[in-house]
Amino acid sequence: MNLDQIIFYLEIGFSHIMDIGAYDHLLFLVSISVVYSFKSWKKLFWIVTFFTIGHSMSLVISSYSIYKPNSDIIEFLIPVTIIISALTNLFFLKSTQKISYLTILIALFFGLIHGFGFANFFNQITFNDGVDLVALIGFSFGVETAQILIATSILILNSILFLINPGFRKNYVRLISIIVCLLTILIFI
């Protein structure tokens, strides 16, 4: 493995998520993270882990040409996942409950959808005709590093806000979720 190549693709994956133009990734991460603080970080950890497993699987599936869905369908489904996640916060706000298997399966499924979106970008930036496993690993780790940074930042902000005013939590989550829905509709429609 070429370390320079791994670092190169890690930086591309990281930049892809942290780019202000990657608002779909940011909106999705906000929609799944806004409910949690450090008191319930394990729940968010499992959601993000299964989301990661899902998008890593579809990134590999697409990169190795096992299956490549229509990119227009994927680009339509990505905002749908954001809106569903945000609406879930509005109607099913219960962070004290144990994480359900349904939540895990939904995170995995949404990860598959987002991974095919990552694959469209990844396939455009690779420089050769074959799949380069080093590039794929570097890109995936870059994406994950950025996602962890964003989710951790949201956990820190939420923890501070919920500590300052515990009664604020419910309205805060609802307000942020409504903003995420509205931004998603405005940006993608």
What is the percent of the chain where pLDDT is above 70?
94
* Average pLDDT over all residues of the chain: 89
Residue ranges per structural domain of the chain = 3-188
What is the reported pLDDT for 94? 61
DSSP 128: S
Instruction: Find the helix packing angle between 23-33 and 101-125, rounded to 10°.
Output: 160
SS3 (DSSP) at 189: coil
Mean of pLDDT values over 81-105: 83
Residue 128 has pLDDT above 70, yes or no: no
Of 40 and 79, the one with more pLDDT:
79
Q: Phi and psi at residue 96, in whole multiples of 5°?
A: -85, -15
What is the reported pLDDT for 101? 87
What is the reported pLDDT for 130? 61
Residue 123 has pLDDT above 80, yes or no: no
Under a CB-based contact definition with an 8 Å cutoff, are residues 155 and 37 in contact?
A: yes
- The whole-angstrom separation of Cα 74 and Cα 62 is 12
DSSP 11-59: HHHHHHHHSTT-HHHHHHHHHHHTT--GGGHHHHHHHHHHHHHHHHHHH
What is the reported pLDDT for 66? 92
What is the reported pLDDT for 136? 86
Under a CB-based contact definition with an 8 Å cutoff, are residues 63 and 122 in contact?
A: yes
Mean of pLDDT values over 132-150: 89
Reported confidence tier of residue 145, pLDDT bands at 50, 70, 90: very high
SS3 (DSSP) at 94: coil
Q: What are 186's two structure tokens?
A: 């405005």
Phi-psi region of 94 (alpha: psi -120 to 50; beta: other; left: phi over 0): beta
Of 157 and 64, the one with more pLDDT:
157
- The whole-angstrom separation of Cα 131 and Cα 126 is 8
pLDDT, one tens digit per residue, over 96-119 is 457 788 889 999 999 999 999 988
